Amino acid sequence: MKAVTWQGKRNVSVENVPDPTIQEPTDAIVRITSTAICGSDLHLYEVLGPYMHKGDVLGHEPMGIVEEVGPGVTNLKVGDRVVVPFNISCGYCYMCTRGLQSQCETTQVHDKGSGAALFGFSELYGSVPGGQAEYLRVPFADYGPVKVGSELPDERYLYLSDILPTAWQGVKYADVPQDGVLAVYGLGPVGQFAARIGKYLGHRVIGIEPVPERRAMAKRHGIETIDFTKDTAEELRSMTNGRGPDAVVDAVGMEAHGSPVGAFAQNAVGFLPDKLAQKVMESGGSDRVAVLHSAIDAVRRGGTVSLSGVYGGSVTPMPMLSMFDKQIQFRMGQCNVRRWTDELLPIVEEPSDPLGVTDLMTHEVSIDEAPAAYRNFQKKTDGAIKVVLKPQGVAV
Ligand SMILES: NC(=O)c1ccc[n+]([C@@H]2O[C@H](COP(=O)([O-])OP(=O)(O)OC[C@H]3O[C@@H](n4cnc5c(N)ncnc54)[C@H](O)[C@@H]3O)[C@@H](O)[C@H]2O)c1
Ligand SMILES: [Zn+2]
Ligand SMILES: [Zn+2]
């Protein structure tokens, strides 16, 4: 089958690889009809290379049709249409039963000290072949895949695999008070949804984003927007009676623009051999912190900072004085996808499309065009905001 593979920093290629097969009784094979590129794939593309291997199959936002099920699978049958969450979780362990599926104790990657295994996400998360491919092997298929109806287009459902529950969790964790103000840094796909969810839940939302077409998209959904500058925190205070927003979602993560020191460190690490680079990343501060520090500066005293964006350094410098003095609460983590999908499914099916899931995708291309799609999405050229690959071909 065809699959999108990692070949090196900023280098992906479409290769022919063996079709996946059922390996455990609880596996299913899904024929992928749509599979998106995520901001997290960009971290693998750019800075997490030391954890990738040539030929690793990428992708963790897939949906499609069940093609085959193992003898232990009872909830799914061949022909079911499913969205596959990016976490691989068992559904029955201590963590899964407490809504912490991203920490699943059955699939945790112990040799790396990581949480639940993830599709297509480097050796840090189990080196599981990903879903930017014609077919995907799905472990624990009785629990993970979300069954969806057959009438609405893929675009309605696809984002349940990751970015919609991620944004939902980010906003829930932000704990915005009634009539509160939510600031969302980054209006990429995750930030778009976080901002729209904030509106949907009745809050005033201010989005911060350097790319004009991303600000324009958010404006269409009633979001106030500003550019990111060194005075962003001050600007946010001036928009909120001098106090700052009640809560902030950081939907940017470790590759934030405006952090020259972190950018230099990330680049330098990129030139080291993998094992050494891993050591440096695990013991050094390899995050770009402009957004994180701006969020801490901007949030009002006693407010909450919720990190949806992924961070990876272990000595990332943090302004402890401000954090303590301002009594800031922090929440963060990979999304527990399955915790939120039952709540979100009826919302994406509503005819009025309240979260605007049909106003996010800017590019729908065949899987062969993945290398160019990655470039455009990373460089934000050609108006790319959300790119969806169609392994079975693009309908004309
Ligand atoms: N926690 C999770 O489970 C989870 C799931 C999915 C994605 N993510 C993470 O969420 C983040 C966003 O993902 P995405 O798909 O929206 O990707 P993206 O890369 O398109 O979004 C990042 C956005 O931040 C903007 N940005 C960069 N520097 C900025 C700055 N200084 N101020 C404000 N905005 C700035 C970029 O222009 C871009 O629009 C990534 O870190 C991704 O890894 C986390
Ligand atoms: Zn993702
Ligand atoms: Zn589990």
Cβ–ligand 1 distance for 313 under 6 Å, the answer no
| H/E segment holding residue 202 | none
Which of 107, 104, 96, 85 shows the shortest CA–CA distance to 344?
A: 85
- 332 contacts 296 by C-beta, under 8 angstroms: no
Q: Which atom of ligand 1 is nearest to the CA of 377?
A: 20
The DSSP annotation for 125-140 comes to GT-B--SSBSEEEESS
d(CA 206, CA 224): 5
Cβ–ligand 1 distance for 228 under 6 Å, the answer yes
- 307 contacts 330 by C-beta, under 8 angstroms: yes
- Could you tell me the sign of the dihedral formed by the alpha carbons of 162, 164, 169, 174, in that order? positive
d(CA 211, CA 208): 9
Cβ–ligand 1 distance for 167 under 6 Å, the answer no
d(CA 78, CA 28): 9
- pLDDT of amino acid 257: 83
Q: Which two tokens stand for residue 349?
A: 């099916």
Cβ–ligand 1 distance for 186 under 6 Å, the answer yes
Cβ–ligand 1 distance for 290 under 6 Å, the answer yes
- Rounded to whole angstroms, the maximal C-alpha distance in the chain is 61
State the CB neighbour count (10 A cutoff) for residue 114: 19
Residues 6+ apart with CB under 8 A from 361: 36, 155, 385, 386, 387, 388
Q: Please name every residue paired with 6 in a beta bridge, in sequence order, or none if there are none.
A: 12
Task: Print pLDDT tens along the chain (396 aa).
Answer: 999 999 999 999 999 999 999 999 999 999 999 999 999 999 999 888 888 999 999 999 999 999 999 999 999 999 999 999 999 999 999 999 999 999 999 999 999 999 999 999 999 999 999 999 999 999 999 999 999 999 999 999 999 999 999 999 999 999 999 999 999 999 999 999 999 999 999 999 999 999 999 999 999 999 999 999 999 999 999 999 999 999 999 999 988 787 666 676 676 676 677 776 776 666 655 578 999 999 999 999 999 999 999 998 878 889 999 999 999 999 999 999 999 999 999 999 999 999 999 999 999 999 999 999 999 999 999 999 999 999 999 886
Environment class of 25 (CB within 10 Å of its CB; exposed 0-12, middle 13-18, buried 19+): exposed
DSSP state of 279: H
d(CA 65, CA 251): 31
d(CA 321, CA 305): 15
User: The whole model's pTM is what?
Assistant: 0.95
**Which residue's CA is the closest to the ligand 1 atom numbered 39?**
188
Which of 359, 351, 389 shows the shortest CA–CA distance to 373?
A: 389
Phi, psi of 53 (to 5 degrees): -125, 145
Helix, strand, or coil (residue 56): coil
Ligand closest to 186 (CA) is 1
Q: 221 CA to middle of ligand 1, Å?
A: 19
Q: Which two tokens stand for residue 48?
A: 């997490």
**Which residue's CA is the closest to the ligand 1 atom numbered 3?**
334
Cβ–ligand 1 distance for 256 under 6 Å, the answer yes
Ligand closest to 85 (CA) is 2
Q: Which two tokens stand for residue 162?
A: 């990751």
d(CA 200, CA 354): 7
Cβ–ligand 1 distance for 291 under 6 Å, the answer yes
- 121 contacts 45 by C-beta, under 8 angstroms: no
- 274 contacts 242 by C-beta, under 8 angstroms: no
Q: Which atom of ligand 1 is nearest to the CA of 378?
A: 19
- pLDDT of amino acid 287: 78
- pLDDT of amino acid 305: 98
- pLDDT of amino acid 44: 92
- 59 contacts 131 by C-beta, under 8 angstroms: yes
Domains plus CATH for the chain?
2-162+335-390 (3.90.180.10), 165-332 (3.40.50.720)
Cβ–ligand 1 distance for 252 under 6 Å, the answer yes
Residues 6+ apart with CB under 8 A from 252: 185, 186, 188, 191, 291, 309
- pLDDT of amino acid 395: 80
Question: Which stretches of the chain are DSSP H helices?
Answer: 39-46, 154-157, 163-174, 189-200, 212-219, 232-238, 260-269, 274-283, 290-298, 320-325, 337-349, 370-379
Environment class of 153 (CB within 10 Å of its CB; exposed 0-12, middle 13-18, buried 19+): exposed
Ligand closest to 262 (CA) is 1
Q: Which atom of ligand 1 is nearest to the CA of 102?
A: 3
Q: Given ligand 1 and candidates 37, 38, 213, which is best to mutate, with the most ligand atoms within 8 Å of its CB? A: 38
Ligand closest to 91 (CA) is 3
66 vs 63, 72, 393, CA distance in Å? Answer: 9, 15, 18
Q: Given ligand 1 and candidates 40, 124, 337, which is best to mutate, with the most ligand atoms within 8 Å of its CB? A: 40
Phi, psi of 340 (to 5 degrees): -110, -15
Ligand closest to 117 (CA) is 3
Q: 339 CA to middle of ligand 3, Å?
A: 12
